[in-house]
Structure 1
Amino acid sequence: MKLVKNPCLRLMALRLRHAASSSTAVYCDGGVGTRSDVKHLLTEKPSHNASLRHPNYQLRSLLGSASPGRLSAALSILRGMLSPDSASPPNAATRSIVFTSLTTRSQPLDEESLALLVEIAKMGFFPHDAILFTQFIDKLCRGGATSGAWDFFHAVKDAGGSIEAPVCNALLTGVATIRDFGRMNLLFSEMKSLGVRPSIVTFGILINRLCKSRFLDDALNVLDAMSSPDSGVSPDTVIFNTLIDGLCKAGRLQDGLSLLDRMKSSHACDPDCVTYSSLINAFCKAAELDMAHELLTRMEKERVAVNVVTLNTFVTGMCRHGMIGNALDFFQKKKVEWPEVKGNAVTYITLISAFLHSNNVGKATTLFDEMIKEGVSPDSTTYFTLISGLTKVGKLDDAYSNVLFMRKNGFRVDIKSYNTLISGFCKKKRLDKAFEIHNEMCEAGLTPDIWTYNTLISGFCKKKRLDKAFEIHDEMCKTGLRPDIFTYNSLIDGFCKAGDFSKANKFLNKMVDDGCKPDVVTYRTLVNGFCKAGDPDQAMKIFRSMDVSVVPANTVIYNILIDSYCKNQKVDAAIDLFDEMQKQDILPDAMTYTSIFKGLKDHNMSDKALEFMDKMSSQGCKPNYVTMDVLMDWLTTIGEIERLRLFVQRTTSSDMNSGNPDV
């Protein structure tokens, strides 16, 4: 590494100069002197070191502290040591103390300290040791101070510091991490101008970041540059693996295959398990399992060692595409052919989950037993998969038995497993069992979360067991959890359906007081509740308050009101709402029109009905079967069969929407 002239310390040499003015200058790590001064400096070394002993000790002490103020104080001392008239100019030991301390410091450097370090570097004070310089730049980049690292690096370069490939690679990694492609290109160009030959690590950093950013053609161009005779380096398996993996993730499978051929034919670079696994995984995901098997055959022919990742890639790929039996056959076959490769928890979880999703509980439990027999220890994830799968297919008691087995055998049952069971029992309306599991969960030392309580509250509200729901709400609040929008909406819905609007209103007020803003579901619940209770006028007041709360209405809320008005013989008010929703750019659906048709039929307003039929067709709104039943029953009775036929022609039965017929 070359020695660096430090012009800012020239005055130190002038103070020490005792030789003739014609003497030749020499450069030392601490500053500038004359040849005749060298002997004097050596004889004065004990006193010079003595003068540095105290400031170096101060620097070591201050930089060893985590306090930001101490860092600023240390840098101020350092800047004072660098002043031209300093009695204690820094030496090699000072450099080591400062940059070793800053590199090993756990706290990141603030912007002010970084700016000061850049200023000091411009004065010629920076690590002269290539390893320490690299470690310092790496430290800055990892701490999120990549711009500061960039400025410090260039301050050192401009001050004449030695720049080598490792420090460039450290900075390149930093700017690549933040995807600053402009600085990546600039740094790569600067390396060439400085005569720093890029290493395989340099090319690897570029290719890796370009692949992750999906700039795959640029990454391939870097490979071409790397492959040229004057690059001085040759791509290795890791480089090719990075490119092949990037191409596969982007769906460019044929380009990935081409690189597989190129790495061996043009570079004598042997593919490994990672190479083939990337390609096999990509072809499995693309449902091209024949090509995946062909690659596996090639892999075995070339004696590339397979591992459990290869096995799991095939098992997962076949299960993903519904070939569960094939996946199991493949697993059983390869257990014999690959005795050194054992299925692991992932293998079994994948198969067990697939069989559970296909409702084959027997096969899933058989595989679980085989897993235990083969010595593959199930973990919490395995049990959660089994419990979740059994719950989804309605085997709640079997799922619960597995929880009991886990607890009995010392496995930790996590909150996800308990919540899955509670949700399953609530959906099956087995609320007492769900609450019993909640109690067991508390006894096991687990604290229910907001999801647990919301599931129970919703379940008890739907069954109109409002006292129990309110009790669970109080328990939740006592644990320190705040009710959220789902909690309040469940309770408001429960009290509305029970006709207890005073309590529904009480929770609405509490919701607002707690800073929980009502949403469209809250308003829909209240509007629907009053409509069901035969009070559309009160429902309309709630509806109009949505404008004040700046909560946009939707088709569902308009449908509830329109249907209520029609049922209460207020078809004109329903039509006004229909016109209003269109002005608000809220499109009516089949349920909207069906309610209107029912109201018009009750008032024998056939001309208006025909007008709405034309409007429905022009808007491209498809009637459902309830709509057609209403119109056919009415229009055939009043002799409007031809108009009905034309309407049916525009919306044929094959185009009908099979939406919810309940209005």
Structure 2
Amino acid sequence: MERTDKKLNNLKNDLSFLKRLVHDCQFAHADHLRILMIKACQNEDELKRALSYLNEICGTDFGFSLYSFNTLLIQLAKFDMSAVAQDVYTKMLNSGIRPSLLTFNTMINMLCKKGKVQEAELVLSKVFQSDMCPDVFTYTSLILGHCRNGKLEAAFQVFDRMVKEGCDPNSVTYSTLVNGLCNDGRVDEALNMIEEMIKKGIEPTVYTYIVPITSLCEAGCLNEAIELVRSMRKRGCNMNVQTYTALISGLSRAGKHQVAIGLYHKMLRNGLVPNTITYNALISELCNEGRLSIALKIFDWMQVQGTSPNVQTYNEVIKGFCWTGDVKKAIILFNKMFKSGPSPTVVTYNTLINGYLKSGNLNNAVRLLDVMKGSGCEPDEWTYSKLVSGLCKNGKLDYASSLFHEMIERGISPNQVSYTAMIHGYCLEGKLNTALMLFEEMKKSDCCPSVETYNVVISGLSKDNRFFEAENLCNKMAEQGLLPNVITYTSLIDGLCRNGGTDLAFKIFHKMEKRNCSPNLYTYSSLIYGLCLDGKADDAETLLAEMERKGLVPDEVTYTSLVDGFVMLDRLDHAFLLLRRMFNVSCKPNYRTYRVLLKGLEKECKSLTEKVVAQQEAVHICSSDERYSYYEILRNLVTRLSESGCELTVDTYATLVRGLCREGRSWEADRLVENMEEKGLSPNREIYSSLLVAHCNVLEVDYALKIYDMMADRGLELHLSIYKALICALCRAGRMGEAKNLFESLLEKEWNNDEIVWTILIDGLLKGGQLDPCMKLLHFMEARNGSLNFHTYVILERELSKLDIPIKTHVISEKFQVLRGIH
């Protein structure tokens, strides 16, 4: 700001002195000062201001000279002010001052840089009309214009013309053609061009080599690029920032990160300052490969060296965090951008939205869309498609539908992904008729259904036992030139198997094989499920062997269907043999696998009890207490797992504990954890988290706090959902003081304040009907200078409006009152 004021004062002083010179008719001195004032301008705004002042005092006696016109045109071209330059050029022609070749060349070069060759040729005609001859600069500018337009033949015609006219090309001329050839993908011809210029005694400069080296690196021809660098250095051309950057980028893309980083350090030793593009080349590829720790080191080096990260740098690091599942750190970085710049772009928002969707946090993904729109960053087709898809997959159909229509209202036509997601969502909800109506609507629009769209509808119809409609759609699909693929056939097979039509499913199976459409894992899994449902577990096991012979690896779903098949036939021993097989091939059972086995053990226990009762023996096989009874079955499962040769690991217990907690069986989960500790196994973060949330759900707060302390003592990272569960439970239990203390400890950590409000205050307290604790914690946060994004207040206001709870003025924060006044 001070620098701007100083510049303005200098300009005013110069202007005052200029007026005095003009008043005294010292026009030569005045013209010299005017030229210095124009040259002193360092940006577009300064030049506009200077020009505005100069125009005020340029009367009939003190007009622009040729030199001042040329100086002004050169400065206007420098700052890409072509429209103003055109006006000045016209004014010059009308003033009677005869332009020089420099005047014409400045205009031709400026126009050609923008690819406006036809307009440049009109200026060239003025050169000939003025009895002047174009020079190497004129011709090179025209060559540049044709290259910018991708018209290489026209560029070479100009080159041939200049040679014919006796105008010798220089290094810049050749470099321009070399760059044009490279940009057109003709790198070999570009390299030949370099050889040609050397033979003609024209020495290439480092700028001749930059684009060919970059092109070779981008094409993955790293060895050729390095060889070209060697050739360049032999000719006495030292590497500059651009050549280092091209090589660093190529090495990074090839996965040779250590070499790239070594080259970066060499660059520093040689006294060259890497630019933002250099750092981005290193950071981007490291983030793409998930090597985030090294990328962050370079991100820090960049700022230590005084190079400011640009929006691409931030976007790459944010993408890296999201890909590794660390959305927490991505949001902190986003918040830094939001407050200090550079402003987040649609790419930033889309990356974060995708990160939230991948982590299953739909609420925050949608809130980020609100922040995006409120910040003036327009969501694009990708933003809506991803959100609509994520919402549909998670059963949030109403909101997905509203976003789908909002997208249309904003003038964004739904693409195949959006339509398919919505149709799939309706199918999942069992709203097939609505799905079919949207499918017809899609066909009427300019968006043609893809194979994936047809597959979604066919799957929905098949699962709803509308097989003949599904088959007819298959035929219509083929009529549209879309061949049914393995997913199409599998959808039909899966629907039939779920509805007792396994025999017909096998006919489809053989039909697809005859059409050279190889079944995949899901095809076999559907058939195995159908056979097991029909009580044909042995046939299903034979089919499993067949799929393995074909090189397909069964997953936990396939095995679980088979295990369930044998459990239904009361062949529990064989079911455990299959489980051991799963362990042996490193196929991790899920909770449903264990749930199926528990069902079998429970059935076995009841059967034994019934036999004892029948024999009127006073022996208790299973406890009368439901919890103890279930835990005994769990212990039996653990014993049988061990006896079957299945190694009991922390992961095994984690799967069981997580499943039990989701079923509300926290007591049994606690006993199971005791069992694992007796076996010398320590619970991991996942186990503790599951237990803590389960105990919070039933307001067993003291036990939950005990788990929290154990997690903290063991240095386990606590997710925001843990704090949400605990704070909400403490508030519900009337222990506000403890909730506040816990909230205070959370604020001291590296969490983003907006995310804390979204997750704990809104999703936790507000949606749980806890308005008073929510507002108290909001006040507390604000009192500690916990700054929030304005759009978070907008989201809070909207969520409050949904509540049927009367809102008292005194519980709303000052900022919030202002916000409510605005809205």
Q: What TM bracket, shorter-length normalisation?
A: 0.5 to 0.7
Matching of residues 248-263 of structure 1 within 5 Å: 248-263=147-162
2:473 — aligned with what?
Answer: 612
2:48 — aligned with what?
Answer: 143
1:396 — aligned with what?
Answer: 292
1:464-501 deviation per Cα after TM superposition (whole angstroms, max 9, x unaligned): 5x7xxxxxxxxxxxxxxxxxxxxxx66156xxxxxxxx
Is the alpha carbon distance of 1:265 and 1:516 closer, same or farther for their aligned partners in structure 2, counting shifts above 3 Å? closer
SS at match of 1:143: helix
- Aligned-pair CA distance for 1:327: 0.8
Which of residues 465, 477, 488 in structure 2 aligns to 1:627? 488
1:428-477 deviation per Cα after TM superposition (whole angstroms, max 9, x unaligned): 23568x489969x99xx99998689997797577445x7xxxxxxxxxxx
1:240-278 deviation per Cα after TM superposition (whole angstroms, max 9, x unaligned): 3322322322233344344445445534x4433322221
Give yes or no for the alignment of 1:338 onto 2:238: no
The runs of 5 or more residues in structure 2 that have no matched partner are: 1-6, 39-44, 519-525, 527-823
1:532-590 deviation per Cα after TM superposition (whole angstroms, max 9, x unaligned): 45xxxx83487369768946784556545544554555544443443455566664443
1:170-228 deviation per Cα after TM superposition (whole angstroms, max 9, x unaligned): 7877799544899689667646xx5x543222322442344245342453464465357
Give yes or no for the alignment of 1:214 onto 2:115: yes
Q: Residue type matched to 1:233 in 2?
A: M
Identity %: 26
Q: Residue type matched to 2:235 in 1?
A: W
Is the alpha carbon distance of 1:544 and 1:581 closer, same or farther for their aligned partners in structure 2, counting shifts above 3 Å? farther
- Aligned-pair CA distance for 1:236: 3.0
Is the alpha carbon distance of 1:217 and 1:453 closer, same or farther for their aligned partners in structure 2, counting shifts above 3 Å? closer
Partners of 2:121 and 2:378 in 1: how far apart?
53
Is the alpha carbon distance of 1:286 and 1:588 closer, same or farther for their aligned partners in structure 2, counting shifts above 3 Å? closer
Is the alpha carbon distance of 1:151 and 1:211 closer, same or farther for their aligned partners in structure 2, counting shifts above 3 Å? farther
Q: Which entry has the higher C-alpha Rg, 1 or 2?
A: 1
Of stretches 395-404 and 139-148 in structure 1, the one that deviates more from structure 2 is 139-148
Which of residues 357, 364, 369 in structure 2 aligns to 1:491? 364
Partners of 1:264 and 1:511 in 2: how far apart?
56
Of stretches 452-461 and 610-619 in structure 1, the one that deviates more from structure 2 is 452-461
Give yes or no for the alignment of 1:310 onto 2:208: yes
Partners of 1:318 and 1:531 in 2: how far apart?
43
1:598 — aligned with what?
Answer: 459
Is the alpha carbon distance of 1:379 and 1:358 closer, same or farther for their aligned partners in structure 2, counting shifts above 3 Å? same
1:285-305 deviation per Cα after TM superposition (whole angstroms, max 9, x unaligned): 223334333332343344434
SS at match of 1:322: coil
1:299 — aligned with what?
Answer: 197
Q: Residue type matched to 1:338 in 2?
A: R
Partners of 1:508 and 1:381 in 2: how far apart?
29
Partners of 1:623 and 1:413 in 2: how far apart?
54
Contact 2:389/2:422 (8 A) holds in 1: yes
Contact 2:353/2:365 (8 A) holds in 1: no
1:129-177 deviation per Cα after TM superposition (whole angstroms, max 9, x unaligned): 3774798799799428989999998x84xxx988864566578777995
SS at match of 2:191: helix
Partners of 1:331 and 1:522 in 2: how far apart?
46
2:305 — aligned with what?
Answer: 411
Matching of residues 262-661 of structure 1 within 5 Å: 262-263=161-162, 265-267=164-166, 269-335=167-233, 337-339=234-236, 341-368=237-264, 370-371=266-267, 374=270, 376=272, 378=274, 382-402=278-298, 411-412=305-306, 414-415=308-309, 420-421=316-317, 423-429=319-325, 434=329, 459=355, 462-463=358-359, 491=364, 525=387, 529=391, 532=394, 539-540=397-398, 543=401, 550=409, 554=414, 556=417, 559-560=420-421, 562-567=423-428, 569-582=430-443, 587-621=448-482, 623-631=484-492
Is the alpha carbon distance of 1:171 and 1:454 closer, same or farther for their aligned partners in structure 2, counting shifts above 3 Å? closer
TM-score by length of structure 1 reads 0.55
Of stretches 302-311 and 564-573 in structure 1, the one that deviates more from structure 2 is 564-573
Q: Residue type matched to 1:250 in 2?
A: N
1:100 — aligned with what?
Answer: 18
- Aligned-pair CA distance for 1:328: 0.2
Is the alpha carbon distance of 1:283 and 1:447 closer, same or farther for their aligned partners in structure 2, counting shifts above 3 Å? closer
- Aligned-pair CA distance for 1:312: 2.1
Matching of residues 228-247 of structure 1 within 5 Å: 231-247=130-146
Partners of 2:374 and 2:115 in 1: how far apart?
49
C-alpha RMSD of the superposition: 5.8
Q: Residue type matched to 2:228 in 1?
A: F
Is the alpha carbon distance of 1:596 and 1:224 closer, same or farther for their aligned partners in structure 2, counting shifts above 3 Å? closer
Q: Residue type matched to 1:352 in 2?
A: I
Q: Residue type matched to 1:332 in 2?
A: R
- Aligned-pair CA distance for 1:326: 0.5
How many residue pairs get aligned? The number is: 484
Is the alpha carbon distance of 1:304 and 1:324 closer, same or farther for their aligned partners in structure 2, counting shifts above 3 Å? same
Is the alpha carbon distance of 1:292 and 1:576 closer, same or farther for their aligned partners in structure 2, counting shifts above 3 Å? closer
Partners of 2:309 and 2:119 in 1: how far apart?
47
Is the alpha carbon distance of 1:357 and 1:611 closer, same or farther for their aligned partners in structure 2, counting shifts above 3 Å? same
- Aligned-pair CA distance for 1:280: 1.8
Contact 1:372/1:378 (8 A) holds in 2: yes
Give yes or no for the alignment of 1:198 onto 2:116: no
